[in-house]
Structure 1
Amino acid sequence: MLTIGIVLLVEHTSGSYGTAGIVAAAAGLAVALIAPLCGKLADRYGQRAVLVPAVLVHAAAVSLLIVLALSGAPLWALLLAAVLAGASVPQIGPMVRARWAARLDPRSPLQHTAAAFESVTDEFTFVVGPVLAAALCTGVHPAAGLVAEAVLTVTGGLLFAAQRRTQPQVSVRIAGASGAAGGSGGSALRITGVRALAVAFLGIGMVFGGMQVSLTAFSEEIGNPGLNGVLYGVFAAGNMLAGLVVGLMHWRRPADRRLLVAYPVLVAATVPLWIGASSPHAWLQGGLGLLVGICIAPAMITGFTLVDSLVPAGARTEAYTWLTGAVALGQALASSAAGQLADAGGARAGFLVPLGGTALACVVLVVLRRRLEPPAPPAPPVTGRIAARGARHESPVAVD
């Protein structure tokens, strides 16, 4: 709701998709840069200590952005408020995933199911959020979508912070090996596999951001601006439905191999989306958006599942925030790029952003595919009589 609320409000007050995309990009960039720091602080000091001040600052920042936009403030002022609003977005999604990881055995198939469940609940918000924000902005007031976003964030954030029983234990030292986050203050981003996943999620974020702006422009072009929330909701519904299916399946193929199949399929799905934008038929573009949404869920769920096997327990919240931050960064870059392209060449040009972003990320993912393989578990120590017996069998020659 934050990104599309900014796009709709700023486009209304400025009359430019490019300006709206830049302001939304500033918020997304702030999320991407600050989210990993919030995750690291949550790992060290506890989720509640980070979450409560974050939601309060976020509500104040969104309120400031609304006042500035409606008063015709200059772009630099809007950008500052957007940066503060993005930097204070509470990282509830990564915190929830960290709680699942702490409560479930890493080898349990329920880890995959939990990741799928979180993806479904996330995508439910992507279904309801854009429709609600668009309806409020077009039917009530241009700022109503952001007002609702701030109210829901504060209410949900405080309720979640009150659930102390399921919080992971605070981890002051993060131990790891083979390039993992090691020592005090080590970062999960030191793990090459996490960096590869971050690039993949950056491409997924470019799908989200490019779709938001381009569908808004497409709806304007066909003379039905209120339809953009519905079209984006259809796209997100495909993601949610696919998440349900993926969560119910028991996979034999390792997660790293599944990702290398799911991601190229996502790239292929963005091609007809770009081609179909030249048609004035909303049902066609909605159907193609549904297809893209269906292809996103397997890639996202598999990526989150891989984190559990690549990252030590004490750094998982931070690792999850690197991925969600990469999605936010992708949204930011795509919102700006798609806005500029839509202003210059129409909605069809904006749909090039999801295609280009996922294609480049797929290349990087293939190149770094070896880094996605989970490290082999350490061999259990051999001690006591078993060790002595093994030594006698292995060393038949006596040594004085």
Structure 2
Amino acid sequence: MLTISLVLLVEHTTGSYGMAGAVAAVTGVALALCAPRGGRLADRYGQRAVLVPGAALHAASAAALVALALAHAPAWALFAAAVPTGATVPQVGPMVRSRWAVALAGRPSAAPSPLLQTAAAFESVTDEFTFVIGPVVATALCTGIHPAAGLIAEATLTVAGGWLFAAQRRTAPAPHRAAKGGDRRHVSALSVPGVRALVIAFLGIGTVFGGMQVSITAFTQEAGHPGLNGLLYGTFAAGNMLSGVAYGAVTWRRTQGWRLLTAYAALTVACVPLWAVRPLLLLGGLGLVVGLCIAPALITGYTLVEALVPPATRTEAFTWLTGAVALGQAAAVTAAGLLADHAGPHAAFTVPLTGTAAALMLLVGLRRHLVPDPRNGGTPGVIGHRTAVTVD
């Protein structure tokens, strides 16, 4: 709800989609850069210690942004308020995934529970459901009640949901503080090569989300059917949901690294014909195919984190992936918007292809880092395994 609410509010007060998109992009970049820090704090001090003040700060920042926008404040003031609004978005999704990893963990020497893949698929499906419903609700509030209603509702839901989630203490992972007097140092989850490889993969996935959103909007407007924008993007999101359900129901025998590379290659191939499509019906069908290819890559990536990263930095690792999607989306929104303005909507569809193709080539080169370390609870694959990173 945050991005679309910002766009509608700022466009209403400034009359510029360019300014609205820039403010939303600043929020996305701030989220991407600050989310891992929040994940690290949650690992060290507990999720509740981060969620409760974080949700309150986000609501206060969103309220300030609403006030500035309605007061027709200058651009620099909107950008300044957008930074804390994005930086304080509570990372509930990564925290939920971290709780699943704890709840379904077996003995330290045992292989990961097969239910972890099902849990990751469930989270992917529910995430995508919010991507379908959230923009619809936000748009209805902004256009039917008040331009600021969407952002106010987003902040209210964030506080309510964040605090209710924080109250569930029984499932929260125990904090991993450094021992007093010890010499162990905290090492970021990003120091694990496998996490860096997954960040690249999720950056590419973010370009698909951002590129498809802008390209479909520009395409339907040029075709004279702007009302079909929601339907076409909903078809794309529905493909993601359907494949998430199917993927989570299957017990896979191939290694996780192999599945990630295969799913990513399929996603890249699915993005190839988008720029050449003309009929709206065919675009909807191709959007469905692209959506079908996203969930397997997302689910496998999130499942790999449980095996690649020690428990002490697991929440932080999940937030790096979430932040990577947000950063890729922000970059794609900007690039696709410029291409749509200067070369037409068909050129904008090259953004998802470029992002996934570049990420796929890097992933192939880094594939040896996608093999779980048995000492983190994973099972070795056919390529070999790495040594664990020292963390506290």
Fold shared per TM-score above 0.5: yes
Counterpart Cα distance in 2 of 1:224 and 1:155 = 37
Give 1:234 shift. 2.0
Give 1:373 shift. 1.0
- Matched with 2:381 is none
Check the 8 A contact 1:32/1:325 in 2, yes or no.
yes
Check the 8 A contact 1:210/1:334 in 2, yes or no.
yes
- Matched with 1:8 is 8
Higher mean Cα deviation, 144-153 or 193-202?
144-153
Structure 2 letter corresponding to 1:99: R
- Matched with 1:392 is none
Counterpart Cα distance in 2 of 1:150 and 1:72 = 21
- Matched with 1:108 is 113
Counterpart Cα distance in 1 of 2:307 and 2:229 = 39
User: Are residues 146 and 208 of structure 1, via their aligned partners in 2, closer, same or farther at CA, if it must alter by over 3 Å?
Assistant: same
User: Are residues 357 and 303 of structure 1, via their aligned partners in 2, closer, same or farther at CA, if it must alter by over 3 Å?
Assistant: same
* Residues 1:79 and 2:84 aligned together: no
- Matched with 1:264 is 265
- Matched with 1:238 is 239
- Matched with 2:385 is none
Counterpart Cα distance in 1 of 2:138 and 2:244 = 23
Q: Provide TM-score, normalisation by structure 1.
A: 0.87
Give 1:252 shift. 0.1
Structure 2 letter corresponding to 1:216: T
Aligned to 2:288, the other structure's residue is in SS state: helix
Check the 8 A contact 1:256/1:373 in 2, yes or no.
yes
Give 1:237 shift. 1.4
Structure 1 letter corresponding to 2:249: L
**CA offset digits 1:162-184 (Å, max 9, x no partner):** 1111000111149xxxxxxx943
- Matched with 2:343 is 345
CA RMSD of aligned residues (A): 1.9
Q: What is the correspondence of 1:277-316 to structure 2 with a 5 Å cutoff? A: 279=278, 281-316=279-314
Counterpart Cα distance in 2 of 1:8 and 1:220 = 17
State which structure, 1 or 2, has the greater radius of gyration over its C-alpha atoms: 1
**CA offset digits 1:280-339 (Å, max 9, x no partner):** x44333222222111100000000011111000111000000000101111111122222
- Matched with 1:208 is 209
Counterpart Cα distance in 1 of 2:143 and 2:343 = 25
Higher mean Cα deviation, 67-76 or 297-306?
67-76
Structure 2 letter corresponding to 1:270: C
- Matched with 2:108 is none
Give 1:275 shift. 2.0
- Matched with 1:127 is 132
User: Are residues 71 and 99 of structure 1, via their aligned partners in 2, closer, same or farther at CA, if it must alter by over 3 Å?
Assistant: same
- Matched with 1:54 is 54
Counterpart Cα distance in 2 of 1:183 and 1:220 = 57
In structure 2, the gaps of 5 or more residues are 106-110, 377-392
**CA offset digits 1:38-81 (Å, max 9, x no partner):** 00000011101100111111112222222323333222222111
In structure 1, the gaps of 5 or more residues are 175-181, 379-400
Q: What is the correspondence of 1:105-254 to structure 2 with a 5 Å cutoff? A: 105=105, 107-173=112-178, 183-254=184-255
Give 1:361 shift. 0.9
Give 1:144 shift. 2.8
Counterpart Cα distance in 1 of 2:202 and 2:167 = 30
Counterpart Cα distance in 2 of 1:313 and 1:24 = 33
- Matched with 2:390 is none
